[in-house]
Amino acid sequence: MFHHPRTLCPTCRTEAVLARITPGHFGFDIRTFECPACKDVHQLVADLVDPMKSPRTTGWLHGQLQPPR
């Protein structure tokens, strides 16, 4: 069975908080997370193309919302 994975901050591994879900191109949506520990903001792209598959993460998008440090 698919179990909903916890989303961990890629920087510090604290569980991130889902801030919002933005509809992306068809078949995708973009989930914006904030880390309560290090205040990192990062986005996860959920692939919703195939209804037979559970939404799965396709990778982190870094540096979209803030300049690189």
Single-letter amino acid code for the residue at 4 = H
Token output for 65: 């919302």
The distance in angstroms from the start CA to the end CA of the chain is 39
The least distance separating Zn ion from the CB of residue 64, rounded to whole angstroms, comes to 16
Tell me which residues touch Zn ion (CB under 5 A): 9, 11-12, 14, 35, 37-38, 40
Measured from the CB atom, the residue of 19 and 37 that comes closer to Zn ion is 37
- Distance separating alpha carbons of residues 3 and 67, to the nearest angstrom: 34
Measured from the CB atom, the residue of 18 and 38 that comes closer to Zn ion is 38
Measured from the CB atom, the residue of 12 and 17 that comes closer to Zn ion is 12
Going by DSSP bridges, is the β-strand pair 28-34/41-47 parallel, antiparallel, or unpaired?
antiparallel
The least distance separating Zn ion from the CB of residue 58, rounded to whole angstroms, comes to 20
